[in-house]
Amino acid sequence: AQSNWRPQWQPDKSTKTCSTCSKRFNVLQRRHHCRHCGRVICGSCGKNKHRVSLLKFGYHEPVRVCVSCHERCTQAEELMAAISGNGFVALEALLDAGADPNFSTLVFTPFMHAAAKGHTKLMQLLGERGADTAYHVPPLDAPVQVECEGCKRRFSAPFNSKHTYACEGCNHATFEASEAHACVGMSALHAAAARGQTKACQWLLQVRERETERVTET
């Protein structure tokens, strides 16, 4: 399932070998961490070409991930692209190939993305394949990554609702609207309503009504 919590990093000292290829670490073979699962990996298992941006964790620029997380994230990106293009056949093929309907690298889940786009046929398909239709974006404990507009220094700060962060170096206040933090508590219905997708809203409300009826009948 979707999680918007940054993973805890596996402690360096807990392992002498790469969690992916089992190569031993030494002075030349240094430890790195997968930003998606937090496991310790070697440099060749977290290559430059394996970088992905993980907006759900507040990483806007591509970050290092392990080989298996890279595969999972790439498949998730393809799934989201199919939804963006209203590609029913493409989406079905990805789900048949084992893509997780509840996993994305973005703040929205695939189902929320389909709702925001107003693609009700895709919402139906995702629901049938086990998408969590009641998902709400959970609170994010990850700090906001800020680049100072004044001195260009990068720093991280705890989220604040004014989206304004004072630089520790030059004291300049930078506005940084973190998408992940701004979406906390959002559901598919919020996503559809925010984009004026009336059909998707109606569809979601009908599903909810049917579920309520089923609960009260039994």
Residue 66 as a binder of Zn ion (CB under 5 A): the answer is: yes
Least distance (Å) from Zn ion to the CB of residue 137? Answer: 22
Structure tokens at 20: 């992916």
Least distance (Å) from Zn ion to the CB of residue 10? Answer: 10
Planar angle of CA 8, 26, 39, nearest 5 degrees:
20
Least distance (Å) from Zn ion to the CB of residue 170? Answer: 3
Backbone phi and psi for residue 118, each to the nearest 5 degrees, phi listed first: 75, 20
Residue 167 as a binder of Zn ion (CB under 5 A): the answer is: yes
Contact yes or no for 116/108 (Cβ under 8 A): yes
Least distance (Å) from Zn ion to the CB of residue 68? Answer: 6
* Region of 10-18, 112-120, 155-163, 204-212 interacting with Zn ion (CB under 5 A): 10-18
Residue 73 as a binder of Zn ion (CB under 5 A): the answer is: no
How many binding residues for Zn ion (CB under 5 A)? 19
Site string for Zn ion, 21-60 (x = CB under 5 A): x-x----------x-xx----x--x---------------
Helix boundaries (H) for the chain: 67-84, 88-96, 110-117, 120-128, 179-182, 188-194, 198-217
Q: Kindly report the number of other CB atoms within 10 A of residue 150's CB atom.
A: 12
SS3 172: coil
Q: Kindly report the number of other CB atoms within 10 A of residue 75's CB atom.
A: 16
Among 150, 156, 179, 194, binds Zn ion (CB under 5 A): 150
| Interacting residues toward Zn ion by CB under 5 A | 18, 20-21, 23, 34, 36-37, 42, 45, 66, 69, 148, 150-151, 153, 167, 169-170, 172
